[in-house]
Structure 1
Amino acid sequence: MFSKRRATLLAAALSCTMATPLAAQETGVTSDDLAALRAELARLAARVDQLEGELEQAEAKADAATSAAAAASESVVAVQAKVDKAPSVKFKGAPVIEAEGGWSFKPRGRLMYDVGSTNAPDSTGREDGFGNETRRARLGVEGDIPGGFGYKFEVDFAGNEVEAADAYLSYSDGPVEFIVGHQNNFQSLEELTSSLHTTFIERAAFTDAFGFERRIGASATYKQGIVLAQAGLFTDNFDDTATKNRGADGRLVIMPKMGNAQLHLGGSIHYNDIDDPAATVRYRQRPLVHFTSERFINTGNLNASSELGYGLEAAAIAGPLHFASEGYWQKVNRPGALSDPTFFGGYAEVGYYLTKGDTRGYKSGKFDRNKPANPVGKGGIGSVQFNLRYDYLDLTDAGIVGGTQNGYQASLVWKPTDYTLFALNYGKMSYDDAVYAAAGGDRSYDVDAFGVRAQVDF
């Protein structure tokens, strides 16, 4: 724009300069006027040069600003990309770190401290009274690995011993999950439900009496809709890898919903080939609490070549109410002409939440975490649950007299938050054919047990 003006002014100045004196005389313009005009034109040309210089500087600054803005925009995009790739941290009782590509890592652990007492007839001569223990003290980690893999590893330090709990590698593809390592085999709803989420401080008597435990092996789980199918091949646990035990397990569960009610119907089968002529099995059980070492029903050591167990499961959750019941038969195959006894255990329980909005958790064929609707710290008192259970165990059959238990148990469970729990338990175990005789040789009597638990997990 300024270049065009400058050309116009210069043209005008040139025409004035070339004008003849005659023309100047004719127009009445003197030499002084022409000189003044030339001076003004020169001033205007200088001003045009100045303005053009300022315009060039402004354009240069504008170009620099545009470049800086573009660079800043690229930097923002780069920073955002780095933020998107940076690990994210969530909190589920403990930090859960999730990184790009499918990596995740979560520390986990639990601490359970029990205290209480047992009371047996004095004439039995058995130790009773006050007892306490650190029931579980576990630390571990779990997470995901790119490609559909996962891992879990936990170590328990309770009882002045170090024992592995879960220790395995998993792989998931759609509805199918494969696991290799130390894991729970598929026996019983009660056994597969985590100790963090059971309604009593100890599981039903048959689960411990029949030796349910984690074992090393490989398993597959299929879950689609209301169907859950599980199967696996196992050896023995970490502490008994020298044994010749080889086993197979299978479990099938149907998990339909009826309105707002969750139903559970299942069955399981377990076979354990001992394959050792000198091997023995023993079935026995404590009176509800674990901190006593007394067992009032006990088969003693039995020569055995294999075990065959099969169980039935039923449960329902409807709002604050839940029901659960199981029956399990354990057959012992003994060598030679020895008889093959079949022992039986089972339970039936009912529970009810006294706090509004609370219900028992359920997930993938087992009971799961209850999360209080109104936890402490958020204006509530947490959840309060009352439970009753009948717990039966019969260790007498085919000439083996191990005794029978009829257990009548009650528990009150308070969860202030998702990850803390306090529980009161009481049980009256009525025994017949107990292994210890009371006064006069009486083997039918009652043993009372009382237990309190404080629990935290992450």
Structure 2
Amino acid sequence: MTHMMLRGGCAALALIAATPALAQTPSADDLAALVKAQAAEIAALKARLDKIEGQQAAVQATTPHAASQTAPQMAQQDAAQPLVITPFAPQIVPPGPADLDVAQARAVAANPAGVTTEWGAGLPVFRSADGVFTYKPRGRILVDVSSTMGSKYGGRNTTTTGMRALRLGLEGGVGPHFFYQFESDFSENEVDIVTAFLGYRNKISSKVDYDVRAGHLFNDRAFEGSTGSDSTPFLERGVVSTAIIPQRGFYGIGIMGRMFGPNWHASLSVTGDRVDGEQATNDSRTFSGRAHWNPIRTDRSLLHVGGWFFDEALSSAATTLTRSTVIGGRFNGAVRVTTGELLGGRSTTGYGAELGGYVGGLWVMGEAGRRIARLDGGRPSFESKAWSLSSGLFLTGELPPYNPRLGSFGQPNVLDPVLDGGLGAIELTARYENLDYTDLVLGGDGWAATLGVNWYLNSFTRIQLNGIQWHTNNRAGTYTGGDDGQTVSARVGVTF
């Protein structure tokens, strides 16, 4: 219709302009020149209109309800509203500048509207006037309290408090391809650098894109192990993530490449040790990878299949493989399953599998992992084994906050936030986990069963409560033999 209006207007103007000339009986050459000039004007106007509509189409791909708006309405709103980036799934909050895919980043760069500031999940996102530079502060505050009872050892029956995370950082992008993120944690009353990287992203085809990150990187390993501490459905990750792990832990300095398809992702990384001041010896070297696939995905259901591995060559300064894994919550260090003292480690290999999914508000996830440690001097290797089965149910209509791009959980998109006078989102959770170090002469074993409830006041504020029935059977350390008890833990968390 817009094209017809432009053509009609141009024709009318041409008729008015041509009237005096017609009265003087113009020649054929004059008429030909007039028609040629009118055609050039119409072509120029059409080219300008096509350009405007092309820009609006890019905005429409990332702006809710844009499909139902007319071009004039969108033009008016573009001047008054910042660009809104939709998430990779409607049940999670929109991604930050460092988590966009290249198509979303291009849409931001193609929609300059002056310097903009928009408020998302907790803190603002700043964009430059030309759309090239994007910046967002980020952080999380997780405050926990934990009380244990029922153990036959008085030293285990304690009540403690702690900061699970106290992070401040930033993330941003430069154009559609380059991005960065940096965070420090202060939870142990010390400055600890966690995520810190630079990255590049691009597309391979219309359906496949990739990114490459270099710096201090968070593991892509196991379902809960790849989920951030501010997004786990329980107060602490399960034993598959905390026990079947490289010796360096969750972070290492190196490079990671990730590839994303319509219903899958895969990653490979090579890293050294985490950030430290030790440069007198070689770093350990860890090569790791993970992939997930969603063979079934509808608006209300999904199936998740995943697998991962790591292989590490240990530094001469990291040969102690003694491990003591918490199983009754993070803030009771006495409730652990221990390996006993183990020295002379040479290398380790770990691998695991993930299977789960959701239907409506109900989700289920099973994980299993195994770690093989090889010792120097030709001594026999030993194995660590762990598995878990967890589930949750949203009572308030939300879908589980599953991120299909990464195959992990994110922050939920709460339908009826408390700050808007609503109820928020309520989730019931349950998990059983089992850990086995008994392949070692002094190794122990244990299990824990957890029931929990999560109340999400909005998409970035939550209150969590976990009740844990645990059992340990250690053959070394302070608390040996079979022991049972109960731990009740609670958390208030804010992520921005």
TM-score (norm 1): 0.77
Conserved 8 A contact 1:193-1:368: yes
Check if 1:140 corresponds to 2:159: no
Structure 1 residues without counterparts, runs of 5 or longer: 1-79
Check if 1:177 corresponds to 2:205: no
Conserved 8 A contact 1:204-1:347: yes
Check if 1:214 corresponds to 2:254: no
Check if 1:226 corresponds to 2:267: no
Check if 1:200 corresponds to 2:237: no
Structure 2 residues without counterparts, runs of 5 or longer: 1-78, 80-110, 204-208
| Cα pair distance change 1:301/1:89, threshold 3 Å | same
Number of positions where the alignment pairs a residue of Structure 1 with one of Structure 2 = 372
Check if 1:378 corresponds to 2:447: no
1:456 equivalent in structure 2: 494
Q: What SS class does the counterpart of residue 423 from structure 2 fall into?
A: coil
Counterpart CA distance in 2 for 1:130 and 1:320 is 34
Question: In structure 1, which of residues 426, 443, 448 is the aligned counterpart of residue 481 of structure 2?
Answer: 443
Kindly state the Cα deviation for residue 289 of structure 1 after the two structures are TM-superposed. Answer: 1.7
Counterpart CA distance in 1 for 2:147 and 2:467 is 10
Question: In structure 1, which of residues 228, 233, 251 is the aligned counterpart of residue 290 of structure 2?
Answer: 251
Question: In structure 1, which of residues 270, 282, 285 is the aligned counterpart of residue 322 of structure 2?
Answer: 282
| Cα pair distance change 1:332/1:240, threshold 3 Å | farther
Counterpart CA distance in 2 for 1:360 and 1:426 is 22
Higher alpha-carbon deviation: 269-278 or 332-341: 269-278
One-letter identity of the residue aligned with 1:146: G
1:396 equivalent in structure 2: 438
| Cα pair distance change 1:319/1:407, threshold 3 Å | same
Q: What SS class does the counterpart of residue 302 from structure 2 fall into?
A: strand
Check if 1:319 corresponds to 2:360: yes
Counterpart CA distance in 2 for 1:101 and 1:258 is 34
Question: In structure 1, which of residues 238, 245, 253 is the aligned counterpart of residue 275 of structure 2?
Answer: 238
Conserved 8 A contact 1:267-1:311: yes
| Cα pair distance change 1:84/1:395, threshold 3 Å | closer
Conserved 8 A contact 1:190-1:203: yes
Counterpart CA distance in 2 for 1:400 and 1:216 is 34
2:339 equivalent in structure 1: 299
1:417 equivalent in structure 2: 458
Kindly state the Cα deviation for residue 373 of structure 1 after the two structures are TM-superposed. Answer: 1.3
Kindly state the Cα deviation for residue 115 of structure 1 after the two structures are TM-superposed. Answer: 0.6
Conserved 8 A contact 1:170-1:180: yes
Counterpart CA distance in 1 for 2:310 and 2:392 is 29
1:102 equivalent in structure 2: 132
Q: What SS class does the counterpart of residue 160 from structure 1 fall into?
A: coil
Conserved 8 A contact 1:437-1:443: no
Kindly state the Cα deviation for residue 248 of structure 1 after the two structures are TM-superposed. Answer: 0.3
Kindly state the Cα deviation for residue 377 of structure 1 after the two structures are TM-superposed. Answer: 2.7
Kindly state the Cα deviation for residue 361 of structure 1 after the two structures are TM-superposed. Answer: 3.2
Computed over aligned residues only, the root mean square deviation of the Cα atoms, in angstroms, reads 2.0
Counterpart CA distance in 1 for 2:143 and 2:195 is 20
| Cα pair distance change 1:275/1:154, threshold 3 Å | closer
Kindly state the Cα deviation for residue 290 of structure 1 after the two structures are TM-superposed. Answer: 1.5
One-letter identity of the residue aligned with 1:247: T
Kindly state the Cα deviation for residue 436 of structure 1 after the two structures are TM-superposed. Answer: 5.2
1:310 equivalent in structure 2: 351
Conserved 8 A contact 1:297-1:434: no
Kindly state the Cα deviation for residue 257 of structure 1 after the two structures are TM-superposed. Answer: 2.9
2:115 equivalent in structure 1: 87
| Cα pair distance change 1:369/1:84, threshold 3 Å | closer
Q: What SS class does the counterpart of residue 190 from structure 1 fall into?
A: coil
Counterpart CA distance in 2 for 1:118 and 1:173 is 50
One-letter identity of the residue aligned with 1:237: R
Counterpart CA distance in 1 for 2:112 and 2:317 is 62
One-letter identity of the residue aligned with 1:136: A
Counterpart CA distance in 1 for 2:316 and 2:150 is 38
Q: What SS class does the counterpart of residue 256 from structure 1 fall into?
A: strand
Question: In structure 2, which of residues 188, 204, 221 is the aligned counterpart of residue 187 of structure 1?
Answer: 221
Conserved 8 A contact 2:244-2:385: no
Higher alpha-carbon deviation: 444-453 or 355-364: 355-364
Counterpart CA distance in 1 for 2:142 and 2:318 is 37
Counterpart CA distance in 2 for 1:379 and 1:101 is 35
Kindly state the Cα deviation for residue 102 of structure 1 after the two structures are TM-superposed. Answer: 2.2
Q: Which has the larger radius of gyration?
A: 1
Kindly state the Cα deviation for residue 117 of structure 1 after the two structures are TM-superposed. Answer: 0.6
2:73 equivalent in structure 1: none
Q: What SS class does the counterpart of residue 336 from structure 1 fall into?
A: helix
One-letter identity of the residue aligned with 2:284: N
| Cα pair distance change 1:119/1:434, threshold 3 Å | farther
| Cα pair distance change 1:355/1:240, threshold 3 Å | farther
Counterpart CA distance in 2 for 1:270 and 1:383 is 36
Conserved 8 A contact 1:138-1:157: yes
More strand, by proportion: 1
Counterpart CA distance in 2 for 1:314 and 1:154 is 31
1:120-139 equivalences in 2 (<5 Å): 121-122=151-152, 124-139=153-168
Instruction: Deviation per CA, 1:169-212: give whole Å up to 9, x if none.
Output: 01001101000000112211111111111111100023223444
Conserved 8 A contact 1:432-1:445: yes
Identity of paired residues, percent? 26
Check if 1:387 corresponds to 2:429: yes
